[in-house]
Structure 1
Amino acid sequence: MADVKRVERPLSPHLQIYRWQLPMLTSILTRITGNGLIVGTMLAVWWLLSAAVSPEYFAVADAVATSWFGDLVFTLSAWALWYHYLAGIRHLIYDAGRGLDIPTAEKLGWACIIGSVVLTVLTIVIV
């Protein structure tokens, strides 16, 4: 039988080797905000459905939705919606083959982060 020679392969590096970069952060935030939008949607749907069930049940759901917790969830959902929208536009730019160099990718990342915060504040002020 032939001798099997084990090939020494490098271990996959992790975060102790890689430093955080803005494109990495924006990619992670896109995934988090996409999943986080589910929480705000569930709270809004619960509030709407409770109105169809009974006035007592609606009073409970309305108390939760208008509490500090509901305000926090809806504010973060507004930010997540704006961030996810802007990140989608950024990915359309990437899909067109533009903005793939590091300086432009970082500028687009900052545009998503800053733009989503500004649009969230405008949404809260207007609504």
Structure 2
Amino acid sequence: MDRSDTEKRRRKLLAQTRSLYSERHSAPAVHPRYRNAYNSIYGDREDEEPASTFGLRVVFCCLLFIGFVMMDNYDLKVADVSSSQITEAVKDGVDVQAVWQELQNFAGQEDVP
């Protein structure tokens, strides 16, 4: 073996070791001989990671902002609420419990004939 073959072999072994003990793709630091037993007991870790909704929330916030800007520029009202009423509510602060109680009372009144 010459020097380049030795270096190639070292690089290959290093890549194998990194992939073997990487927590991204497989079980952490488990000898290859026992990996199947480990996975049968603990399962794959990839299934446990929840999906992120960050992108969806960002898109939703952008749409709300665009809607608010359009309401403000064109003096539109949505559900009898104008952009100035929204800004006043944000400035004053909203009592969430009072709003929730009003919604419950409103929903209860609709059910009663």
Q: Which has the higher contact order (CA 8 A, sep 6+)?
A: 1
TM-score, length of structure 1 as denominator length: 0.26
TM-score, length of structure 2 as denominator length: 0.28
CA radius of gyration, larger in: 2
